[in-house]
Amino acid sequence: MIKLLLSAFFLSISLSSNSQEKKETEQTPNIFDKMIEWDNKLKSLKANFNQEVIFKVAEMKQSVEGNIVFEKPDNIKITHAKPQKQIIIINSQKDITIIKPQDRQIIKSSWEKWKANLEPKLKGLFDLGNYSSLGKNSKIEFPDSFTIKITPKDSSYILTLKLNEKYFPIECELDLKDTVIKTYLKDINIDSKIEKDEFEYKNKEKYEVLKL
């Protein structure tokens, strides 16, 4: 996931519920369905990103920069350049490898174990190619003609996606109540060739390997 946001209400409070239903029905094929159509066709993606992670309770903010490589169905590589270098590789969401050059360590774990303690700054980057499932059993709103707001039934989060003119999500905001992650994609390259060893890491530096 990434992350994308900010919006103005598409429908004013003064509109009746019948009018809202009609408007949302009209907007759906023009926004959500077109995004899902793109999402289903996506094979791979390379992009740089900037993130703002806002910790509401602590009143702190962290800035993150890096790049992401994604290949369907589940291969993801996230490289952080700031605040410190770190590489995260997930292969088919079964195994995860985290390379920390500063600590000269490589952490290996299963995706199931690791995702339970997923860092807030990473939560916005794992929904690429998966937006259709996010929309199931969720309330979907259209604050404006290029913004989609997704809220699950349990209201555990609010995901706001801002699309470009091709209905590609270029900004995302993930509101987890106590933490807000804003992600901005740039230099986007869709369906470009991915090298076979992109999601592998050879420990040439002989870092310490920790298995969790």
**Cβ atoms of residues 124 and 2 within 8 Å:** yes
Q: For residue 73, is the peptide bond before it cis, meaning its omega torsion is within 30 degrees of 0?
A: yes
Reply yes or no on whether the pLDDT at 111 is more than 60: yes
Q: Residue 118's pLDDT band (boundaries 50, 70, 90)?
A: low
Three-state SS string over the chain comes to CCCECCCCCCCCCCCCHHHHHHHHHHHHHHCHHHHHHHHHHCCEEEEEEEEEEEECCCCEEEEEEEEEEEECCCEEEEEEEECCCEEEEEECCCEEEEEECCCCEEEEEEHHHHHCCCCHHHHCCCCCCCHHHHCCCEEEEEEECCEEEEEECCCCCEEEEEECCCCCEEEEEEECCCEEEEEEEEEEEECCCCCCCCCCCCCCCCCEEEEC
- Domain for residue 81, yes or no? yes
The pLDDT score that the predictor gives to residue 14 is 21
- Domain for residue 109, yes or no? yes
Total domains present in the chain: 1
Q: Residue 132's pLDDT band (boundaries 50, 70, 90)?
A: low
Report, as an integer, the average pLDDT of 57-69: 90
Q: Which domain holds residue 23?
A: 17-194+207-211
- Domain for residue 4, yes or no? no
Reply yes or no on whether the pLDDT at 6 is more than 60: no
- What is the Cα–Cα distance from 200 to 212, expressed in whole angstroms? 18
The pLDDT score that the predictor gives to residue 40 is 81
- Domain for residue 10, yes or no? no
- Domain for residue 12, yes or no? no
- Domain for residue 59, yes or no? yes
The pLDDT score that the predictor gives to residue 90 is 86
- Domain for residue 70, yes or no? yes
Q: For residue 83, is the peptide bond before it cis, meaning its omega torsion is within 30 degrees of 0?
A: yes
- Domain for residue 60, yes or no? yes
Residue 150 sits in a domain whose CATH number is 2.50.20.10
The pLDDT score that the predictor gives to residue 117 is 62
